[in-house]
Amino acid sequence: MPSLKEQLDQMVKEVQPQVIEWRHHIHAHPCLSHQEGPTVAYVQAALEAMPAKLIITNPTKTSILADLKGGAGEGPMIALRADMDALPLEELTDVPFKSQNPGVMHACGHDTHTACLMGAVKVLCEMQEKIKGTVRFVFQHAEEVSPSGARQMVEAGAMQGVDMIFGLHNRSLLEVGRTSSRAGIASGAVIDFDITVHGKGGHAADQQLCIDPIVIASDIVMNLQTIVSRRIAASKVPVISVTTLHAGTGSFNVIPDTANIRGTIRALSDEGERDAPRMLEETANAIAGLYGATCTFDWPEVVYSMRHAQHCFEIMQKVCVTKLPAGEAGFDVITDPSFGAEDFSEYERVVPGCFAYFGVKNDAIGACHGAHTSLFKVDETGFETAVRIHVRLIEELLMPA
């Protein structure tokens, strides 16, 4: 009789054609953030047809929770998460299942994440009687934008009763079969800012009667860089980028009343995440005050750093090293956190968790372009790795020997 490991591996292999079919449909019918209704309907119909009964709920209009209660008794609840939203890009790939929705494309691989988690659902439903505890499958909307889908799901109670959560993301720069992760801070906090400088407009010939917000805004932009270079320790520095500076109506001889500065702070430390926004306001207010102007500030929703719990990382590492064909040689411990954002962090603010990457790179088929580009493509043979990780995490945590 085959061992549990052999059974699970065989089932993961057998579900791959179905995973690819699911993925092709989702890829061909992408939905933007907060508009995932058609994707939700498709995924939910597939979940309702699974070989075991799932408790399915919709914490928001465009998200799904599906709970699989094990047949081996009470135990922890482990959550596995996938995101479902696409991006506002025109697809330029040559795949036969390319986007049918003009200007919308799965250019980050969320179609892959969703299909791979669906594959894990099917395998684990067939192994229900061996599970001691509950698996919560989290199909999340709106990872790409604010307001964050993860935050909305947490606010709706999606993490209630959950003991740990794990997530995966495809990586177009990582070879098929390889995986990577790290403990601790894994991604940057994203803190966007919108500053309005309030001066006093007038005729450019009478500049002495004005409080020129353009001059003031320019001074603020230059001095914001001293926060990075002089006010926070070099080992803790965030990145502060001004990306928009707008003032005036286009007239050559009119000094406007206001100027607008927009940008983003990316932080990889508690100090940067906590102190940089405060220092930004202090700097802008102080400079505006020198000129007799004032500032107002708008802070859109923050995306916090992912912070992987040590014990969750060790579980993820163990599964990748001991239960994947590539073994230890195929697992990379990421040295430096990424400045990219990932709202999986919202779950980790509530329960311990870990997030890992799996390879989908294949130069021979053009699966080598970065995410968020119109040529983004993945090697579907990498899906087996993702499904196996999901399944073997549950084996490790909820299938007693």
Write out the binding residues.
108, 110, 144, 169, 372
CA dist., res. 280 & res. 84, Å (int): 35
Q: Which two tokens stand for residue 51?
A: 């070989």
CA dist., res. 216 & res. 227, Å (int): 17
- Please, what sign has the CA dihedral across residues 56, 57, 58, 63? negative
CA dist., res. 195 & res. 35, Å (int): 30
| Among 200, 2, 158, 178, CA closest to 67 | 158
- Please, what sign has the CA dihedral across residues 153, 156, 158, 163? positive
Give Cα 46 to chain centroid, integer Å. 24
Which residue numbers belong to the known binding site for Mn(2+)?
A: 108, 110, 144, 169, 372
Work out the angle at residue 288's Cα, subtended by the Cα atoms of residues 283 and 291, and round it to the nearest 5 degrees: 140
Give Cα 38 to chain centroid, integer Å. 21
Q: Which two tokens stand for residue 289?
A: 């005050």
CA dist., res. 316 & res. 396, Å (int): 10
Rounded to whole angstroms, what are the CA distances from 391 to 11, 79, 315?
Answer: 10, 12, 13
